[in-house]
Amino acid sequence: MDNVQVYARLTDIFHEVFDDDSIKVTPELSAADVDGWDSLTHIRLILTVEKAFKVKFSTSEIGKLKNVGDLVDLISAQAQPR
Amino acid sequence: MNPLYAELRWLPRVPSDFSARLKALAGSPTPLGGELQALALHALDLNQLTRLSKAIARARGEGKSLDPLAPFRLAVLSNSTMDMIVPALEASGARHGIALETILPPYDQVAQEALIPNSMVNRSKPDAVLFAFDYRSLPLKLTLGDEEAAAAVVDGAIGYLEALRNGIKAGCNAVCIFQTFAPPAEPLFGSLDRALPGTVRSLIDRINLRLAEFVLGSGDVLLDVAGLAETVGLAEWHNPQLWNMAKFSFSDELIPLYADHVARSVAALRGKSRKVLVLDLDNTVWGGVIGDDGLDGIQIAQGDARGEAHLAVQRLALDLRQRGIVIAVSSKNTDEVAREPFEKHPEMLLKLHHIAVFQANWNDKATNIKAIAEELSLGLNSLVFLDDNPVERGLVRQLLPQVAVPELPEEPAFYARTLAAAGYFEAVTFANEDLKRAGFYQDNSKRLTLQKQVGGVDAYLASLDMTITFQPFDATGRARVVQLINKSNQYNLTTRRYTDPEVVEAENDPSVFTLQVRLADIFGDNGMISVVICRPGDTETWEVDTWLMSCRVLGRKVEHMVLRELTEHARGAGIKKILGTYKPTDRNKLVIDHYAKLGFSKIQEDDSGLTRWELLTEAEGPEAAPMKVVSLFVPTAEGSLVQEQRTADLAALRAY
């Protein structure tokens, strides 16, 4: 799965999790930019990403996330080539 | 994770237009309850539940009516993070006919909220309070091997819960819903934990028992979370990472399951539990098709793996009946044929006297299920319909959305478990009257005769996206043709049996018209489902030697399409008249009117009940049914030429 595919899948996930189809998912996107991205929704987002990409993040990895770019790096590091 | 539970497999998969339907709610005519419930009646994951709950909240905010959902206010007290669970509760409420409104006080304010009379919870006058505690909310001091100290710990925990209950009763007099406690997955000693007083496992065992007694005696409600966690497995239930990160007391993947269980209890409190189990027979109550396989052919014996799977369904039905659930039957069969196993098969657990309404006929199942509800004077929302056939399930779901219709897995061994997991018959109390209920309906038992059809069958058929494929007999289909000819009893006009060589002979004889018919639909390929053989009769006449069909595709107008195809080929071959015969057997009463329904005229009837029919090929045939037609015939004239050529070659060969 290349970066374009990862972002496409992430875009679907963001729309689903935040119930908002207008969100543009970019590497710089962070919690400050999205309405309703609080700590709980963040966890729902992470759990959805884990399930969708069949990956598991450690607590410290999740704690260090600053923006979507970090998240994509984590996914790419773990995702099985399919 | 076991997908039956984690993915609510008894519910249909989420439709592709789910998002669009959610959005459309904003402009939908009110009340919105029906559509909200329809959306909730899918296997929604946590995100989808959350989105549905937002739609419910929006509708509520705009003052729109949520009828016919029954309003219910539920306060939630917990020592864990419930914020992500509450939306799932509200959406799951809609699934069970409840417009659930939740009151969630700030995190970990349990004692204050319960005990202070003007707390947020007590002031909000909820209908019920859910004490969503897990074992970490209890002061479970280890008292290893010390019986007396262990008893004191248990007393302390129960006393705490009782005090909370009393606070709520005094403050707002709401129903209290207590949860049993799922023990942690990690042992201390190992197996000894269960036996030794004062271990966490032993303490929780005892607390759960005491809690169950005290709740049952008080008229409150017990939600058996410990049982739920056991069912899916403690290691799946508890997720220490999520507890550490966000104080989730169980895995996020099980939130849909948990929320559905809470909603079931609330619905049961509101009297919305189901009361009737309607059973299909063939391949549901027994393995095989009674009309075709006969009494000796159906699988229902102990010791036969397939038979035992269906016996498990019967046993569950009987157990349900014992607790007051009414059992009914809806089967596409001739009545006497369908009753035969109940009367004569020694291994059948279900007997006719267990069945309150027995509907075996050839009407569509939606019509029959409606009749069952009327006969029992119960609403359609009291019924559960169990059927192995996805087409029948789809039809009933579409035409009678109030009826609960569980999805079933391929493997019959899991039918009983799936039905039980769906929790349609959830009850919060059990009274002596329940024991008598099933018998009460029994007295009314009589077979219904009804002809009126539930509207919209055609629309449903169209939605099945059927493709019917016609072709002459060939080597590929031959084995199945022979099987159908020798096995079909019910939809079989003449019940003529042919061997493989005889079928080959028909296949190769250019004067014989043969037809094999396949049907595919959105649920998959049904394979070959009909066979027709016509032989030349008098001048310009075809005699229908064999016409049979699999009962699995009954009511889908396949026979109409077969006749259209047949007539077209007859015309092409210069045939003016088609003659048909109905030869009665003890199995084929189903098709007694087959030719009459297709527009044939009766020309003869003898004492044995045998009837003869004719149709002029110039007559207008039956109307086309909504399905795509694929005809794999070589153009008639050319085709017969080719066949004649082959026959000539054979003759030449023999002569040589």
Which domains, and CATH codes, for chain B? Answer: 69-269 (3.40.50.1110), 276-459 (3.40.50.1000), 465-654 (3.40.630.30)
* B304 confidence band (pLDDT: 50, 70, 90): confident
Tokens, residue B581:
């015969």
Position B39 scores a pLDDT of 97
Position B551 scores a pLDDT of 82
User: How close A61 gets to chain B, by Cα (Å)?
Assistant: 12
A48–B83 CB contact, under 8 Å: no
Q: Check: CB of residue B268 under 8 Å from CB of residue B98.
A: no
pLDDT in tens, A11-56: 999 999 999 999 999 999 999 999 889 888 999 999 999 999 999 9
- Tell me the three state secondary structure of residue B57: helix
Position B526 scores a pLDDT of 81
* More confident site: B651 or B240: B240
CA distance B578 to B617: 7
Domain of A18?
3-78
B51–A16 CB contact, under 8 Å: yes
Position B566 scores a pLDDT of 94
Arithmetic mean of pLDDT, B147-165: 94
Chain B interface includes A22 (CB < 8 A): no
CA distance B279 to B285: 7
CB pairs below 8 Å between A and B: how many?
A: 31
Asked if the model's pLDDT at residue B635 lies above 80, the reply is no
- Residues in A 63-82 with any Cβ partner in B closer than 8 A: none
Q: Please report residues of B whose CB lies closer than 8 A to that of A44.
A: 46-47, 50, 84, 252
B436-444, long-range: CB < 8 A, 24+ apart:
B436/B324, B437/B275, B437/B324, B437/B325, B437/B326, B438/B321, B438/B322, B438/B324, B438/B325, B438/B326, B438/B327, B438/B354, B438/B356, B441/B326, B441/B356, B441/B357, B441/B376, B442/B353, B442/B356, B444/B356, B444/B357, B444/B375, B444/B376
> DSSP letters of B17-36?
THHHHHHHGGGSPSP-HHHH
- Report the residue count for chain B: 656
Percent of chain B with pLDDT over 90: 75
Antiparallel, parallel or unpaired: β B128-132 and B98-103: unpaired
Asked if the model's pLDDT at residue B495 lies above 90, the reply is yes
Position B231 scores a pLDDT of 97
Position B654 scores a pLDDT of 44
Asked if the model's pLDDT at residue B453 lies above 80, the reply is no
Position B286 scores a pLDDT of 97
Interface test with B, best of A43, A59, A60, A61 (most B CBs within 10 A): A43
Asked if the model's pLDDT at residue B623 lies above 90, the reply is no
Asked if the model's pLDDT at residue B642 lies above 90, the reply is no
Residue B588: DSSP 8-state: -
Which residues face B604 on adjacent strands? B612
Asked if the model's pLDDT at residue B434 lies above 80, the reply is no
Position B647 scores a pLDDT of 44
Q: Check: CB of residue B72 under 8 Å from CB of residue B127.
A: yes
Chain B interface includes A49 (CB < 8 A): no
Tokens, residue B399:
């035409």
Position B653 scores a pLDDT of 43
Asked if the model's pLDDT at residue B435 lies above 80, the reply is no
B50–A62 CB contact, under 8 Å: no
Arithmetic mean of pLDDT, B270-297: 94
Asked if the model's pLDDT at residue B530 lies above 60, the reply is yes
Arithmetic mean of pLDDT, B546-553: 90
pLDDT in tens, B167-225: 999 999 999 999 999 999 999 999 999 999 999 999 999 999 999 998 888 889 999 99
Position B648 scores a pLDDT of 44
Q: Check: CB of residue B598 under 8 Å from CB of residue B622.
A: yes
CA distance B70 to B94: 9
Position B621 scores a pLDDT of 81
Cross-chain CB nearest to A59 (options B81, B84, B245): B245
* B457 confidence band (pLDDT: 50, 70, 90): confident
Chain B interface includes A54 (CB < 8 A): no
Tokens, residue B302:
């102990």
Phi then psi dihedrals of residue A50, to 5 deg: -55, -45
Contacts of B632 (CB under 8 A, 6+ apart): B469, B470, B471
Q: Check: CB of residue B458 under 8 Å from CB of residue B514.
A: no
Asked if the model's pLDDT at residue B533 lies above 70, the reply is yes
Arithmetic mean of pLDDT, B106-128: 90
Position B289 scores a pLDDT of 94
Contacts of B430 (CB under 8 A, 6+ apart): B323
Q: Please report residues of A whose CB lies closer than 8 A to that of B50.
A: 19, 44
- Tell me the three state secondary structure of residue B120: helix
User: How close B542 gets to chain A, by Cα (Å)?
Assistant: 58
Alpha helices of B44-119 — where are they, by DSSP H?
46-61, 85-95, 110-115
pLDDT in tens, B350-369: 999 999 999 999 989 999 99
Alpha helices of A1-82 — where are they, by DSSP H?
3-18, 39-53, 59-64, 68-78
pTM: 0.81
Asked if the model's pLDDT at residue B385 lies above 80, the reply is yes
Position B651 scores a pLDDT of 45
Report for B63-67, B298-302, B618-622: range of highest mean pLDDT: B63-67
Q: What is the CA radius of gyration of chain B?
A: 31
User: How close A25 gets to chain B, by Cα (Å)?
Assistant: 18
* Exposed/middle/buried for residue B3 (C-beta within 10 Å: 0-12, 13-18, 19+): exposed
Arithmetic mean of pLDDT, B529-545: 94
Arithmetic mean of pLDDT, B502-531: 90
* B441 confidence band (pLDDT: 50, 70, 90): low
B252–A47 CB contact, under 8 Å: yes
Average pLDDT of chain A is 90
CA distance B214 to B206: 12
Position B620 scores a pLDDT of 83
Chain B interface includes A48 (CB < 8 A): yes
Arithmetic mean of pLDDT, B267-288: 95
The count of structural domains within chain A is 1
> DSSP letters of B289-357?
-HHHHHHHHSB--TT-HHHHHHHHHHHHHHHHHHTT-EEEEEEES-HHHHHHHHHH-TT-S--GGGEEE
Task: Supply the CATH number for residue A21's domain.
Answer: 1.10.1200.10
Interface test with B, best of A18, A47, A58, A65 (most B CBs within 10 A): A47
User: How close A44 gets to chain B, by Cα (Å)?
Assistant: 8
Asked if the model's pLDDT at residue B650 lies above 50, the reply is no
B252–A17 CB contact, under 8 Å: no
Asked if the model's pLDDT at residue B641 lies above 50, the reply is no
CA distance B548 to B532: 7
* B439 confidence band (pLDDT: 50, 70, 90): low
Average pLDDT of chain B is 90
Percent of chain B with pLDDT over 70: 93
Residue keyed to tokens 């993070």: B81
- ipTM score of complex: 0.89
Position B487 scores a pLDDT of 83
- Tell me the three state secondary structure of residue A10: helix
Cross-chain CB nearest to B47 (options A17, A40, A43): A17
